[in-house]
A and B are shown apart, each in its own frame.
Chain A
Amino acid sequence: MTFNVVVDVAWKEEILDPAGQSTAKVLQQMGYAADNLRIGKQIRFQLQAPDVAQAETAAREMAQRLLANPVMETYAVRVVAE
């Protein structure tokens, strides 16, 4: 079966996000009341697996081992059958 996988990677709360900080500052200068802005990334791909559980396990493993750096990032994995 083919699964659509979406992995959202975000900085851990305690990690400094200079890009988010600067972006929020400019938004504020433009007059928007944006606060606590954090920039993350989204990784999407398709995955072949026998069932959703195995797809999830594989996707989680990929996130843990490569897509996110567990030292400073968290990730959320969503798996949807095509």
Chain B
Amino acid sequence: MNYQDVGLTAQEYAMISGKLGRTPNQLELGLFGVLWSEHCSYKSSKNLLADLPHEGSAVVQGPGENAGVVRLNDAIHVAFKVESHNHPSYVEPVQGAATGVGGILRDIVAMGARPIALADSLRFGTDRASQSLRHAVVEGVGAYGNAIGIPTVTGEVAYASGYEKNPLVNVMAVGLLPAERPISARGAKPGSYLVLLGQPTGRDGIHGASLLASQDFGEGTEHMRPTVQVGDPFMGKLLMEATLEAVGTGLLDSVQDLGAAGLTSAIAELAYRSEVGATVWLDQVPCREPGMTPYEIMLSETQERMLLVVQPSNMEQIIQIVAHWELPYQVIGVITGEKVLTIATEEDPAAAVVAPDVLAGACPLKPVPQEWAAEVRKTAELSPGFTPLTWEREWGLEVLGSPDCMSRAPIYQRYDSMILTHTVWGPDHSLAVLTVKGVEEGLAVAVRGPGRYAARDAYSGGMAAVARVLALLASQGAVPLGLTDGINAGNPDKESVFRDLMALLAGIGDASRAFGVPVTGGNVSLHNETHGEPIWPTAVIGAVGRHPHPLRPVLDAPETSGLDIVWVNPSGDASLNGSVFESLRQETTAYPRPDLARLAETYRVIGSVAQSADHLTAIRPVEDGGLFVALSRALLASPPSLGMTVELSADTAASQLFTEVAGQFLVFCPPETAGRLESAFGQWPGAFKHLGRVTGDGTLTIAAKKSVHYGRGELERTYARGYRG
């Protein structure tokens, strides 16, 4: 095995030899191979991520831990993070997706938080194979989440041909912890034991992280596919309960979950963060298969394992808890004061000897050329907008029934969204609203990742991703506490891909700053390419907000007739660039750059209208498919007798109905509220429009030159089953 076999470059190898003062042995080389891989070291993206805003009044823990933590109130903190499992889900969709869910849940548990919700963000191709892939991925997400008993409360899915061989499976998990609980991934003290809990170690997923997720797929890489990891939500449930009970005693030094790069990453990270060393007695690690080499044991990605750091005097009490949950466990090592990580076997007490800060903290990062910062923000070349001069009744149905807009019920009904009995709004709404037992404040949870908006202008797409998810929180009057970013892109060694990555992150950074919401952690998945074709740079943004009155969410559909229908469109622009409507007709063009200052002001106003909402006002952000889809979905969610009549300017009806420019809201409200919106938005040309009224005729009527009617049944069928032409 030489340095290339483990994915290191000549420079990296030279650097390692320099730091060690000798050449690394085979085992050490393997350890460096995984920890200095893209997947573990974030070497291509770390300098870009550093530019995101991480500070905020609600932030308890920013990036660098297993998950970010924000403050819900004085008593309760919220841990949350998004993670991807893209490559494994393509290789084996059911297990790949399932272990993805298991992995992010263990991240939350490792923060000492009890998981309370999952949200999934999925991307698939448009061919037939992608449909069976979707079916299997949904099976996997459900299989793990349902069985471990954490509800999947919200999510999103979108389709584009670029995701055919690179589906995206991003999952966000949210957990709660008492405010007084110390964050527990640092704090290992010399003399404490390393207790490995859970599934015995097998040859699962060796090199899964370092090679699979750090290289592109192609014909030549078939043989590199590692042994698939199989998820065991049953053991996952026992592991979760045991770990949380152990954390609850306050007797643990530290907790670290085993994910990518298994023991290697867990122990190196733990020692590095706690500024200590460790000795690992490798023969003590319980193995599922005979004859496993030290290299295999250190790199195995067997699921459902957790590392607890326990002082000898606390062992008895912790072991009692572990035994109650019938979990296998073993003491596999000890924390040392000297900052050296020693892997010892019976034959070789110094099988590997490296400093944790070299292993986990010294990987050289890809530099970011300074001039690019300005370059990526430069106005993109504007593609001539596509503006139909007329509009057809059929177009509405075509957009509503398109894969990107139609009902997600066939997916989310396969997830348990109600277990734990705190889901007030589940996946049949655009965002989730959850109660938190024992306190008045609740949570608003949303996830969005509009890849299409980044297809031609990644900077615009990055901004739009943040804008989309925060619009959902604003519609509930929820105060955003923090964001988590799931970045998905192609091979960063290609200049075009790296440039897109940089633009995407610049967009996320600028938007988060403009809205004043910090990013507290996330995940980067690169090398999403097949045969040299990268996916669209796709930023999946998850948001957690403080909901002022979760038992009474602000309506998202009218419940009484006679209300005014108001359209807020802060930019006043109605271009179709980047829209679903456009994608059904031609190549996607660059998404209009959001005016962040204006959006921030818009969300402030909408948020305050939502907070003071009477029991009549309904607010719905305009998302994929534009106003038409927002109107249709609101109609389908309101009592069957209700209808809507709206009037549009005849010459630009299609643009108004289908534009997806950022920051639009559809509001159903009494005249006083409409007046309040008009005085707030009247200052910006075209930003406020009184569209019409909620009627009692059960149909959607759109008047633009001629009057066009859509029956509820027709909309319902199209939304449920798709457009059939």
Contact = CB atoms under 8 A, between A and B. Distances in A.
Interface string B308-338: 0000000000000000000000000000000
B398 to A, nearest CB: 33
B227 A14 contact: yes
A58 B710 CA distance: 50
Interface residues of B, number: 20
Interface stretch (A1-9, A16-24, A48-56, A74-82): A16-24
Given A14-B227, A16-B303, 19 more contacts: A11-B230, A13-B289, A14-B203, A14-B204, A16-B202, A16-B204, A16-B229, A16-B230, A16-B232, A16-B302, A18-B232, A18-B234, A21-B232, A69-B92, A71-B92, A71-B225, A71-B228, A72-B95, A72-B230
Given A71-B91, A71-B92, A14 B202 contact: yes
A12 B231 CA distance: 15
B540 interface: no
Nearest to B204: A16
Interface string A20-31: 011000000000
Contact of A72 (B199, B228, B234, B289): B228
27 contacts: A11-B230, A12-B227, A14-B202, A14-B204, A14-B227, A14-B289, A15-B227, A15-B228, A16-B199, A16-B202, A16-B204, A16-B230, A16-B232, A16-B288, A16-B303, A17-B230, A18-B231, A18-B232, A18-B235, A21-B232, A71-B91, A71-B92, A71-B228, A72-B92, A72-B227, A72-B228, A72-B230
Interface of A: 11-18, 21-22, 69, 71-72
Contacts of A15: 204, 227-228, 230
Interface of B: 91-92, 95, 199, 202-204, 225, 227-232, 234-235, 288-289, 302-303
A12 B302 CA distance: 15
Contacts of A72: 92, 95, 227-228, 230
Contacts of B199: 16
A52 B204 CA distance: 38
Main secondary structure of the interface of A (DSSP, over half): loop
B641 to A, nearest CB: 49
B15 to A, nearest CB: 35
Contacts of B229: 16
A22 B236 CA distance: 13
Contacts of A22: 234
Contacts of B228: 15, 71-72
B219 to A, nearest CB: 16
B89 to A, nearest CB: 12
A18 B92 CA distance: 17
Contacts of B91: 71
Nearest to B203: A14
Please indicate which of the listed interface residues A15, A16, A69, A72 has the most CB atoms of chain B within 10 Å of its own CB.
Answer: A16
Contacts of A11: 230
A69 B235 CA distance: 24
A54 B232 CA distance: 39
Contacts of B232: 16, 18, 21
A22 B237 CA distance: 14
A11 B227 CA distance: 12
